[in-house]
Structure 1
Amino acid sequence: MLMVGRPVEITVGKTYKLSKEMLLQVLNGTYVLLNMLFHVHSDDNI
């Protein structure tokens, strides 16, 4: 129960703490790349 009040921290390489803003940028960039790859792949099948 004590851990519920503590914010979640994501650490990269055991040295760098990832901020909420940076995590959102990484997730957004990943979504854009996967979406682009999906559309490129689906255009090849036409």
Structure 2
Amino acid sequence: MAASRPLEITVGKISKLSKQMLVQVLNGTYGLLNLLYHFHSTQ
């Protein structure tokens, strides 16, 4: 029963984080970490 409901993540008990927004946040985080890793490995 619970598996049939869509996943909802609530941020700060106010707004719900949609799947699209979650993917955008993860992509941005990955890009930032990749950039930091690149700068760290070149020094």
Structure 1 and Structure 2 fold alike (TM over 0.5)? yes
TM-score of the pair, normalised by structure 2: 0.91
- What is residue 7 of structure 1 aligned with on the other side? 6
- Specify which structure has the bigger relative contact order, considering alpha-carbon pairs within 8 angstroms and separated by 6 or more residues: 2
Q: Are 2:31 and 1:41 equivalent residues in the alignment?
A: no
- What is residue 26 of structure 2 aligned with on the other side? 27
2:33 partner SS: helix
How far apart are residue 21 of structure 1 and its match? 1.2
Structure 1: gaps spanning 5 or more residues? none
- For 2:41, the aligned partner's letter is S
Question: Which structure is larger by alpha-carbon Rg, 1 or 2?
Answer: 1
Structure 2: gaps spanning 5 or more residues? none
TM-score of the pair, normalised by structure 1: 0.86
